[in-house]
Structure 1
């Protein structure tokens, strides 16, 4: 996700330390996205990273510290597509561009999406401050932009909050329920994402385009 992992906890000073930090975070992403925070253990993460548990604890003092490092990185990347929605752009196209950015993230970063989904399902114990803080602030900012577009007649009337929620659900579904989607469609690789892109473009374009006249 273009994440900078040079300083998650204890700052790496050597190539080996950077390599081990990457290994730990990548392994933790696999473990957490599969088992959730509560179902994961330091032993699982250490084994997946190819390190001993004491070696892992040199870099991160606890499971919470590893999870928090991943969540902090994830939240910044998760918010970027919404931040790119520009108030001075063409409303329908700006929203559709956001939809496609979210769908692309579902294709490129399914583990990260499942990590976030698992955290939410468990009550968001480690990120509620971020949900009620920077995420809420950003959503309110973009909701105001959408309401402005509606008021100007450039966008069909729609509840901006539920619009954003529906974009999340229709795009992240392809990551969080990947097994179900693939089990039904049996796609060749990621070919189904092109079909999803066309479908979502039609769905949201029809809903958002103001009536003629």
Structure 2
């Protein structure tokens, strides 16, 4: 049993969450290579030995964060209902991904940094859980296209485009807000993306 798996008391669970919250801030700012246990300990308000008590080092903390994040990241795609209205199901997915960029920008940047590094800690999961889910939902979208319910469109590139256009607002937040002079970009982004995908999907 690893440190990440063993049972903890309520206080110990709170300390683990405090460490993970602090690590999210540090990793999203400095990346895996630039982050240190000392920085995480300082951000968590705990000593470095406390950190080591709960996790087997920086790698263990980073992997735990990524695994938790991936569950949340895949939930909106899992929710795509084969029996629902095709255009509304896809638009709901777009809205939820945009909402996640608004509410979880640090998590988005953490995931982006991992992928940019070649996914050394998530490669196996990306090649199994993520690929299986994307294959499943791509098949649903392809079926909708073949039935004439939406336009004839490549389902994989549709999904990739949704990731790119929604996560941009989290991963490049500083650039977006600078250009918009610190205006909230999300109302306009929601309207724009709904218009784009409504147009693209029209059979």
Q: TM-score range by the shorter chain?
A: over 0.9
Other-structure match for 1:78: 73
TM-score by length of 1: 0.91
Give the C-alpha shift of residue 9 in structure 1: 4.0
Give the C-alpha shift of residue 8 in structure 1: 4.0
SS of structure 2 residue aligned to 1:11? coil
TM-score by length of 2: 0.96
Give the C-alpha shift of residue 34 in structure 1: 1.1
Other-structure match for 2:7: 11
Q: What are structure 1's unaligned runs of at least 5 residues?
A: 1-6
Write out the 4+ residue segments of structure 1 that deviate beyond 6 Å after TM superposition.
none
Other-structure match for 1:4: none
Other-structure match for 1:36: 31
1:48-83 superposed Cα distances (whole Å, 9 cap, x missing partner)? 111111111001111111011101100000000000
Q: What are structure 2's unaligned runs of at least 5 residues?
A: none
Other-structure match for 2:193: 200
- The number of residues matched between the two structures is 201
1:16-54 superposed Cα distances (whole Å, 9 cap, x missing partner)? x12211110011001111111111111111111111111
SS of structure 2 residue aligned to 1:117? helix
**1:121 matches 2:116:** yes
Give the C-alpha shift of residue 195 in structure 1: 0.6
